[in-house]
Amino acid sequence: MSVSRAITVSLVDRTFSPRLKLAEQAILGYSEPGTSRCIPLVEAMRRGLIIESQGIRLLEAQIATGGLIDPIVGYRIPNHVALSRGIFDHRLAGIISNSTDNVKSYFDPYTGGNLMYRELMGRCIRKKRRYGEVLLLPLKAQIPIASALQRGPLRRRDVIIVDPASKIHMSVNQALTANLIDEQTAEKLNHQGGAWIE
């Protein structure tokens, strides 16, 4: 699904559009200045169309999610094929395979530090949806209300589901009744709501 379509169906908030479109370009390819030629991410990095640190983040995410994407053919390819086609190079492969803090550029909401994309994905819960599987990152650990009251201020979080067709906001139970989610998903989402330590 394109970023524009995701915004249209309210799957993604419009405020994230610029960053998501940048990531989308890494998949679709970049327009070569002065021509209509489509060039891959690494070539765009070489030409200074994208900052290397941003490019490395995007490359690392592609590798973590199944392989580098060749925008010319429109599908993922193994690293060795990407190397032979010039879509990837040995220097960048070395940087990305190194687990140093230089590559760990995705914020870890648990520790406040940084993780590699594949490490962040490992913390996600997999959910099947009508449109495919999604990864959800739980942001805070749920605690009992009585225990939280003894520790200090609380925040409450309610899970809201937006029907993509009607754009109506509803509770988990309403979404279950409307057959937007299954019982297993409803149960897990209900556990994500509640009281949290600030």
Spell out the domain ranges in the chain.
3-108+114-118, 138-197
Q: Identify the band that residue 152 occupies on the pLDDT scale cut at 50, 70 and 90.
A: very low
Question: What sign for the dihedral angle of Cα 17, 121, 164, 129?
Answer: positive
Q: Identify the band that residue 102 occupies on the pLDDT scale cut at 50, 70 and 90.
A: low
3-108+114-118: what fold?
A: beta-hairpin-alpha-hairpin repeat (3.90.1290)
More confident residue, 146 or 66: 66
Q: Identify the band that residue 33 occupies on the pLDDT scale cut at 50, 70 and 90.
A: confident
Tell me the average pLDDT across 157-167. 70
Nearest CA among 92, 68, 96, 94 for reference residue 82 = 68
Please, are residues 100 and 56 in contact by the beta-carbon 8 Å criterion?
Answer: no
Tell me the average pLDDT across 126-150. 64
Nearest CA among 49, 64, 48 for reference residue 96 = 64
User: 8-24: per-residue pLDDT in tens?
Assistant: 888 778 888 887 887 88
> Does residue 142 have a pLDDT over 50?
no
> Does residue 78 have a pLDDT over 80?
yes
Tell me the average pLDDT across 115-119. 85
At a CB cut-off of 8 Å and minimum separation 6, what does 196 contact? 140, 141, 142, 143, 148, 154, 155, 156, 157
Distances (CA, A) of 53 to 31, 44, 101, 103, 184: 20, 12, 12, 9, 40
What 3-state class would DSSP assign to 133? strand
Residue 51 CB neighbour total at 10 angstroms: 10
